[in-house]
Amino acid sequence: MVDENAQQLIMQAQSYQQQFQMIAGQKEALNLQIIETGKALEELAKPGEDEVYKITGPVLIKVTKKEAKKDLETKKDLAMLRMKTIEKSETSIKQKLEELKDKLAKAGV
């Protein structure tokens, strides 16, 4: 039978596993956002019109390429900063899970 301490460790490990899965989902969404923003920036770099349309809520607004590029670069920078934060959280949770695995192994679970 599993003692109370081991039971708590197992519950804690399950909680960390759920957090890890949530972080993985956030990381994937951010990665897609970074890729899409990069592709949009590539399109803006192509020669052509000086003005483009930007989606603001349910409305399209005409803006200069320069404004659109600046907005997209800011959006990409923020997404990359959030990605770094998420990766730090991911690393922390991985370490905690490894520590719990070791404790559980020592407890014979």
Q: From residue 10, how far is each of 2, 63, 95 by CA, in Å?
A: 10, 54, 15
pLDDT digits (tens, 9 = 90+) for 69-88: 999 999 999 999 999 999 99
User: What tens digit of pLDDT does each residue of 2-22 get?
Assistant: 678 888 888 998 999 999 999
Q: What is the CATH number of the domain that holds 84?
A: 1.10.287.370
- The boundaries of the domain holding residue 24 are 4-107
Euclidean distance between CA atoms 89 and 57, whole angstroms: 31
103 — pLDDT class (breaks 50, 70, 90): confident
State how many domains the chain has. Answer: 1
pTM (2 decimals)?
Answer: 0.80
